Amino acid sequence: MTKIKKFVTGRIRGCGYAMKGALLLLKTEASIQVQAGIAVIMGIAGFYYNITATEWILQTFAIGLIMSMEGMNTAAEGIADFVHPDFHDKIGFIKDVAAGAVFIAAITAVIIGAIIYIPYIF
């Protein structure tokens, strides 16, 4: 097999693993399921209010940011629990920092949503 063929098949295989991971998140993690539900509601709101292309970009980015951060938080917590299943201050710190990153992304998304939708609503 040529280098190019190996490269292409490797990328295709990698996309398959990434899709599997996204589906596992959606199937098993309540936080991602809630975020996905909110994303659907925001999509419906976008169509209802006929938001601009720029607003769609910002909304899509905000949704992707939160869901990505939720996935990273889940991964960090899983690794931390695997490495040290018992309570430990440093593991607690790591989990809190990962959850804090999700919180920052969520606040950012709320601000973006407010900037987009408040003018349409009022």
pLDDT in tens, 4-15: 888 989 899 999
Average pLDDT over residues 53-81: 96
pLDDT of residue 2: 83
Average pLDDT over residues 99-105: 97
pLDDT of residue 24: 95
CA distance 122 to 119: 5
| Of 59, 73, 64, the residue nearest 31 (C-alpha) | 73
Q: What is the pTM of this model?
A: 0.85
H or E stretch at 79: helix 53-83
Average pLDDT over residues 23-51: 96
Helices (H) and strands (E) in the chain, counts: 4, 0
pLDDT above 90 (res 90)? yes
